[in-house]
Structures are given as structure tokens and as C-alpha cells.
Amino acid sequence: MTRDEIRALPDDTLVCHCNGVTLGEIVKAIEAGAKDLESLIDEVGAGDVCEMCQSCEKDEAEEREVHLVEILEAYS
């Protein structure tokens, strides 16, 4: 997904299915200072259960629409 495509997603896009974390919550955490995957996971609680929302590499079956590392890149 491109940066523009990620930025065009609605805030209520569910990113972390296990913990119910939305894109809007993730973007707020990035704007508040979460600048790497570890700090983002700590801040919003996304990506710490099945880990598929962390990256394409962890989501081998491509079940997630967008991943935390992609969101970090799009909003950095």
C-alpha cells in the first residue's frame, strides 16, 4: 500500500484485530511521539498478540489490509 493510500484510509480502519486498535488511534500515538515499532506497540497495545499487524513479513497470508510499519512510514 502506498503512503497516499494509507493516509486516505478512514480513522476507524481496524489495524489490530486482536486488540481492536484502529488507524486513528495509531496515528494519534505517532503524532504524540511513537516513532518506532516498539514504542508504537507499547503506546497503543497493537501487535502484541498474533503479531500479524506488525508487518507484511509476519502476515504471510496477507490477512491484514495495512501494517504498523507501513503506517509508521506513511506518517513519519
Q: At 20, list the grid cell.
A: 481492536
Q: What range does the domain containing 14 cover?
A: 3-74
When pLDDT is cut at 50, 70 and 90, the band that residue 76 belongs to is confident
Total domains present in the chain: 1
**pLDDT 10s digits, 14-69:** 999 999 999 999 999 999 999 999 999 999 999 999 999 999 999 999 999 999 99
pTM summary value: 0.94
- By C-alpha distance, which of 4, 19, 5 is closest to 54? 19
3 grid coordinates: 503512503
User: Which residue from 61, 50, 69, 48 is spatially nearest to 1, judged by alpha carbons?
Assistant: 69
The x, y and z cell numbers of residue 15, run together, are: 489495524
